[in-house]
Amino acid sequence: MSRNSRRSFLELSAGSLAALVASGISLNPGRAYPAGQARKIRLGVVGGGFGADFHWHEHPNCVVTGVTDLRSDRRRRLMQVYKCENAYDSLEQMAAKAKNIDAVAIFSGASDHARHVKLSVERGWHVICAVPACQSLEEAELLIALVKRTGLKYMMAETSYYRQPAILMRELVRKGMLGRIFYTEADYYHDRGDLQRLVTDTKTRFFDDKGRRNWRWGIPPMFYPTHALGFIVGVTGERVSRVSCLGWKTGDHPWLTENRYQNPFWNESALMQTEQGNMIRCNVFWLCAAEGERASWFGDRGTFHMAAPDLNPDMLKIREKGKVPVEVPKYWQTDMLPQAMRHRSDHGDSHTFLAAEFINALIEDRSPAIGIRDALAMTAPGIVAHASALKNGEQLPVPNFDRQ
């Protein structure tokens, strides 16, 4: 490294956040909450697992008026967290009996998402739903037709969209600091752990409360791609047009041989092309010594690497300025959120942002971030990628639901 380059590196490293601000990067991008609005959104919460970890009750324009889960312990947890007295044994019961709900937050199992969204929208409720949006292209067709026909608002609760580095990356793209993003690496790693315990310990997330294997058991990795693809669709807005995917398997573990999906793979790795001709390498691994969601964006002027847990810091390289660690702004401390929601939250501080954005969109009568088209753009490429893996990597086209 030359003396001048070294000086540039040190200067930028010492004040990387200040340097970003000086470059026009906002520390408070996006839409702030609708202050001064008195209207309250009456929300129903479906699913007492992750559904209890979103801070709906902290938004000044939201009140939880109904909760439901098939398990009584989870219903009690929802009632306690959200101070809600109206509990129902199922979503079906809530849809039949509840009279004071405007919208629902669906955090049921992935295999139920499309069915539960359909039930809720046909009931006349706006919906925010956990990921993925669906598990087949047929379900994708159903969802987009349903939302278009009813005009109700749909949002997918993809956490990668509001991870703090992703918010910063949207700002870097907005300012053109990296030039054209021609290649993105996006990863979601969620290790299954000890393979013997995976079979014998029925108290884990892969079993229901009766000890039966649930929807998570053996799910194809690319049926859960949104934590990775959220870093592309949620940053550049691009749509995947083609995909080739390979799968990896080993042994005869029941995870691979006894699952409802007939899925033979632990891990899947896909090479995708966007409609703009740019490239994506997307990994979703279930059996690996790694954890977390991250991405690297490569532009013709600069590159931004998200931190990998316990491996490396967030890193920005601009051709003219060198490579520097980046101090990612703590956007959760800003007035992007209501005062009561300005605290740390799960999945990279994204939960409060997702909850606030959904309520804000309803109050302001606008389309939310991660609407139905973005949701399908994050979900459908994975469905097609798994089909490609089953065909030994054959390149397959991905439908663009924006055109429907």
| Residue 248 near residue 220, CB atoms below 8 Å | no
Task: Tell me how far apart the alpha carbons of residues 290 and 123 are, in angstroms, rounded to a whole number.
Answer: 42
Count of CA atoms in the C-beta half-sphere (13 A) of 324: 24
Q: Which of these ranges, 91-95, 192-196, 310-314, 351-355, has the smallest mean pLDDT?
A: 310-314
Where is 189: in which H helix or E strand? Answer: strand 181-190
For residue 29, is the peptide bond before it cis, meaning its omega torsion is within 30 degrees of 0? no
Cβ-based neighbour number of residue 265 at 10 Å: 26
Q: Which CATH architecture best describes the domain 41-159?
A: 3-Layer(aba) Sandwich (3.40)
DSSP structural state of residue 31: P
CATH 3.30.360.10 fits 160-339+372-403, yes or no: yes
Q: Is 39 helix (H, G, I), strand (E, B) or coil?
A: coil
- Tokens 């925010």 found at: 128
Q: Is the dihedral of CA 275, 276, 280, 282 positive or negative?
A: negative
- The predicted-structure confidence for 322-336, as pLDDT tens digits, reads as follows 777 788 999 999 999
Convert the pLDDT of each residue in 58-91 to its tens digit.
Answer: 999 999 999 999 999 999 999 999 999 999 999 9
What are the φ and ψ backbone dihedral angles of 361, each rounded to 5 degrees?
Answer: -65, -40
Average pLDDT over residues 263-287: 98
Res 10: pLDDT: 31
pLDDT score for 79: 98
User: Domain locations in the chain?
Assistant: 41-159, 160-339+372-403
Fold match, 41-159 / 160-339+372-403: no
Q: With contact defined as beta carbons under 8 Å apart, do 381 and 281 qualify?
A: no
**What's the chain's average pLDDT?**
92
Rounded to two decimals, the pTM is 0.94
Q: What is the mean pLDDT of residues 162-191?
A: 95
Kindly tell me if the per-residue pLDDT of 187 is higher than 50.
Answer: yes
Torsion angles phi and psi, residue 68, rounded to 5: -155, 145
Residue 305 pairs in a beta bridge with: 296, 315
Residue pLDDT, tens place only, 35-52 = 778 899 999 999 999 999
Question: What digits encode the pLDDT tens for the residues 348-398?
Answer: 999 999 999 999 999 999 999 999 999 999 999 999 999 999 999 999 999
pLDDT at 253: 97
Tokens read off for 230 = 């959220």
Give me the helices (H) in 83-156, please: 91-97, 113-122, 137-150
Residue 195 has pLDDT above 80, yes or no: yes
